[in-house]
């Protein structure tokens, strides 16, 4: 049965005027995942990844563009070639405008591009009262790099992994937030428990001091024991003040992380975490299927391979094949350019080949290959550490659940023993020392139980974050 703590985290006039709100661990986690700044930041990061994915997809879709120069007027003194071949400087007033529309499509497999274009140009010589149109109604072309690095091909292998990775990472970050909130929640709860235990001790010690004074007057209690009772009361009151101070400090951390108002917040002691038996092999299987880090390992290896391909594709022979087929005509009237169109073909191969580079090409490629080898080593080591962390966490889950059950039983027994010791002391059958020991054991058992409860809940959310799997409901977290 849940025990509700009635200790206010922050005392003050404003808190006294407000109605306290009791919050369970699940309530705080849910509210923080919806309201906290860190949760909103994870949402923003996921949205950014989505739009980066849209940008990648757009590179493989047809692109329609319009470009031109309107107007292209110039009034200047420029060199003009004369009929006899000489050059003279003349004052010219011209307009050279153009307008072109292009539809292009990238070819991911080869890294080339095909396009369909239509372009019209107009030239005006205002001094000579000349007007000409040059019209290319349609042209089809190809640009194909040869031996160069194909960025589109590598993006097609890496970007889908990056997008899937971002989706899984979003779920992991939310589970990480739940784990962190659990830690902060129990930080506050631990101080609340300390303050509540101290408050109970104050009331008990006040009663014991009252009885002790009566016995002292009757000569049944020594002055030393009476002084010890007074000291116990003072220590209990000091513990209350310290517990309140520690609870305020812990509440500030919880408030700053979650964005919840701490002035009227009360925390409930959670029930025991779900007692699950998770085989290490099953946890590892789910982690490999669901975790973003698995995709990260693959992406890093591909990126290292990409750097090797980039080193090889930017050194050595570099060539580009361009081909264009279309129709063109020129006339003094725009509509006349569509009559008697003339075919136009262009094929061009440009290349560059370094003949002597003093080992530059070899050095660049060798550096990339060594980096690739180092990434392979790092990924293998990190993958091993990842698998070990999942297996260890799964193995510890059962141990922590058993420890929680033991500390819960110890807490109950210590409380019962203290109640018996207190009643026995009142009738004078045990010493004050025995009662003090029973009280200390009761307090320590309560604190130990809260710490075990914290460890069990933190381990519960940590295993969820490590595997992205809900073993309680038997389903991946992404499906929820």
Tell which wins on pLDDT, 225 or 474: 474
For the chain, give every domain's residue range.
13-55+155-302+370-479, 64-107+112-149+317-353
Most confident of 4-8, 124-128, 267-271, 282-286: 282-286
State how far the Cα of 316 lies from the Cα of 352, in Å rounded to an integer. Answer: 8
Average pLDDT of the residues of the chain: 86
Does residue 2 register a pLDDT over 60?
Answer: no
Q: Between 151-218 and 292-313, two packed helices, what is the crossing angle to 10 degrees?
A: 150
Q: Please identify which residue in the block is written with the tokens 């290292």.
A: 304
Peptide bond into 71 cis (omega under 30): yes
Does residue 166 register a pLDDT over 70?
Answer: yes
Does residue 13 register a pLDDT over 50?
Answer: no
How much of the chain, in percent, has pLDDT values that exceed 70? 94
Does residue 306 register a pLDDT over 60?
Answer: yes
Residue 362 burial (C-beta neighbours within 10 Å; 0-12, 13-18, 19+): exposed
What's the confidence (pLDDT) of residue 479? Answer: 64
Q: Average pLDDT of 173-186?
A: 91
Q: Average pLDDT of 88-101?
A: 90
Does residue 132 register a pLDDT over 80?
Answer: yes
The pLDDT confidence band at residue 418, using thresholds 50, 70 and 90, is: confident
What's the confidence (pLDDT) of residue 21? Answer: 64
Tell which wins on pLDDT, 174 or 205: 174
Most confident of 17-31, 42-56, 203-217, 419-433: 42-56
Kindly state the helix (H) or strand (E) to which residue 104 belongs, with its residue range: strand 87-106
CATH superfamily of 13-55+155-302+370-479: Outer membrane efflux proteins (OEP) (1.20.1600.10)
What's the confidence (pLDDT) of residue 261? Answer: 67
| Closest among 369, 379, 380 to 307, alpha carbons compared | 369
Does residue 377 register a pLDDT over 70?
Answer: yes
Name 269's Cβ contacts closer than 8 Å, sequence gap at least 6: 2, 3, 4, 5, 189, 193, 450, 453
The pLDDT confidence band at residue 1, using thresholds 50, 70 and 90, is: very low
Q: Average pLDDT of 361-382?
A: 94
Does residue 432 register a pLDDT over 80?
Answer: no
State how far the Cα of 38 lies from the Cα of 29, in Å rounded to an integer. Answer: 12
What's the confidence (pLDDT) of residue 15? Answer: 34
Q: Average pLDDT of 418-436?
A: 82
What's the confidence (pLDDT) of residue 262? Answer: 57
Chain centroid offset of residue 345 CA: 53
How much of the chain, in percent, has pLDDT values that exceed 90? 48
Q: Average pLDDT of 47-59?
A: 93
Kindly report, residue by residue over 322-333, the tens digit of the pLDDT. 999 999 988 888
Q: Report yes or no: 55 and 84 within 8 Å, Cβ to Cβ.
A: no
- Residue 449, number of CB atoms within 10 A of its CB: 21
């Amino acid at each position: 049965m849940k025990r509700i703590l009635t200790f206010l985290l922050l005392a003050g006039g404003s808190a006294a005027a407000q109605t306290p709100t009791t919050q369970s661990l699940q309530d705080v986690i849910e509210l923080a995942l919806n309201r906290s700044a860190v949760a909103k930041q994870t949402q923003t990061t996921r949205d950014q990844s989505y739009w980066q994915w849209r940008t990648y997809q757009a590179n493989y879709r047809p692109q329609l563009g319009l470009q031109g120069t309107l107007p292209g007027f110039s009034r200047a003194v420029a060199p003009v070639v004369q009929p006899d071949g000489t050059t003279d400087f003349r004052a010219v007033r011209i307009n050279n405008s153009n307008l072109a529309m292009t539809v292009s499509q990238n070819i991911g497999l080869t890294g080339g591009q095909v396009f369909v274009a239509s372009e019209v140009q107009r030239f005006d010589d205002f001094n000579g009262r000349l007007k000409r149109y040059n019209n290319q109604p349609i042209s089809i072309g190809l640009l194909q790099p040869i031996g160069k690095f194909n960025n589109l091909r590598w993006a097609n292998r890496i970007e889908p992994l990056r997008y899937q990775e971002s989706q899984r990472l979003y779920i992991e970050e939310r589970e990480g937030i739940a784990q962190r909130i659990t830690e902060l929640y129990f930080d506050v709860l631990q101080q609340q428990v300390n303050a509540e235990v101290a408050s109970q001790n104050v009331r008990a010690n006040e009663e014991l001091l009252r009885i002790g004074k009566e016995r002292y007057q009757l000569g049944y209690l020594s002055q030393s024991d009476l002084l010890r009772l007074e000291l116990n009361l003072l220590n209990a009151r000091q513990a209350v003040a310290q517990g309140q101070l520690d609870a305020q400090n812990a509440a500030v951390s919880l408030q700053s992380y979650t964005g919840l108002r701490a002035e009227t917040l009360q925390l409930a002691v959670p029930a025991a975490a779900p007692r699950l038996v998770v085989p290490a092999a099953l946890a590892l299987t789910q982690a490999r299927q669901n975790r973003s880090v698995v995709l990260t390992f693959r992406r890093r290896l591909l990126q290292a391979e990409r750097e090797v391909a980039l080193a090889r594709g930017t050194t050595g022979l570099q060539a580009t094949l361009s081909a264009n087929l279309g129709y063109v005509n020129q006339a003094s009237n725009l509509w006349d350019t569509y009559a008697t169109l003339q075919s136009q073909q262009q094929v061009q191969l440009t290349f560059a080949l370094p003949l002597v580079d003093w080992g530059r090409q070899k050095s660049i490629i060798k550096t990339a290959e060594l980096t690739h080898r180092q990434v392979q080593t790092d990924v293998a080591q990190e993958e091993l550490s990842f698998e070990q962390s999942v297996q260890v966490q799964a193995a510890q889950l059962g141990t922590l659940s058993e420890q929680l059950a033991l500390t819960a039983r110890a807490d109950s027994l210590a409380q019962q023993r203290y109640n018996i010791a207190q009643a026995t002391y009142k009738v004078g059958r045990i010493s004050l020392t025995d009662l003090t020991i029973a009280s200390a054991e009761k307090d320590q058992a309560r604190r130990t139980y809260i710490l075990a409860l914290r460890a069990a809940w933190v381990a519960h959310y940590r295993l969820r974050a490590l595997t992205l799997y809900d073993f309680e409901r038997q389903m991946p977290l992404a499906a929820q």
